Amino acid sequence: MKRISLYEAFYQINDKLSYWIKLSLLWTIVNLPTFISLVLVLFTDFNFERYILLFLLFLSICFNLFPSVQTAFSLMRDLIIKEKIPTHLFKSFFRLYKQNYKRSILAGFIFCITGILIILNISLLNSISYIAQSLFIILGMIFLLCMINYFSFQAHYYLSFKKAILNSIILTFSHPKYTVKILLILGISSVISFFIPIMVFFSISILVNIMFFLFHKEIEEIKPTK
């Protein structure tokens, strides 16, 4: 195993931190329409205007947020596997953004509609059945885990939507230790973001990096040995 000096280790850490920060900033800028739509929805009182803004938010999530999240996963996949930081982040980002765009939109529509249905059921069951509401909350957590695994599978293997979803569900249920790790990361990041909201914009690349690292490690462990 090649040994590196303290200076080289510091240089590599500094490069990665710089890369994560620049990617997070670029990702945030690309998703400004989504964030603006969300803020307007939260601070709009009139029902008619809110419905219009909700529709715009839905479109922005499908056409903008999902492709950019998939791009972030793809970039982190290259960083982890190739162990080399891209020299041209802007070009690499939009090359992968364009490459993943069509299939990300399809995934965005399906995931958004599914997520909306789960949220509506949780809201409607609030005063009707605590048990049923709890079941839908658990379903929502499973849905979120499967969605994260979907991004990782697509970044690593470039599968069809159906196959990526199936593999995501199998991975979520068949590897409980991995699933618990992802849940813990999501929980910790949610707590940090609640107390320091601005961290949402600057930690996205680190969060994606950790999630894909765990995914790749799990996939490597379950590969059949030759």
For residue 223, give both structure tokens: 């590969």
Cβ(161)–Cβ(110) under 8 Å? yes
Cβ(171)–Cβ(149) under 8 Å? yes
pLDDT at 2: 52
Cβ(64)–Cβ(33) under 8 Å? yes
User: pLDDT digit of tens for each residue in the chain (226 aa)?
Assistant: 455 566 666 777 788 888 888 999 999 999 999 999 998 988 887 788 888 999 999 999 999 999 999 999 999 998 899 877 777 899 999 999 999 999 999 999 999 999 999 999 888 887 777 888 889 999 999 999 999 999 999 999 988 999 999 999 999 999 999 999 999 999 998 888 888 877 777 788 889 999 999 999 999 888 755 4
pLDDT at 83: 74
pLDDT at 108: 94
Please state, in angstroms and rounded to a whole number, the distance separating the CA atoms of residues 82 and 76.
Answer: 10
pLDDT at 48: 81
**107: how many CB neighbours lie within 10 A of its CB?**
23
Q: Tokens 């949402």 belong to which residue? A: 200
Please state, in angstroms and rounded to a whole number, the distance separating the CA atoms of residues 70 and 39.
Answer: 23
Q: Which residues contact 59 (CB under 8 A, 6 or more apart)?
A: none
Pick from 87, 212, 207, 195: which is nearest to 153 by CA?
Answer: 212
pLDDT at 162: 92
Please state, in angstroms and rounded to a whole number, the distance separating the CA atoms of residues 196 and 188.
Answer: 12
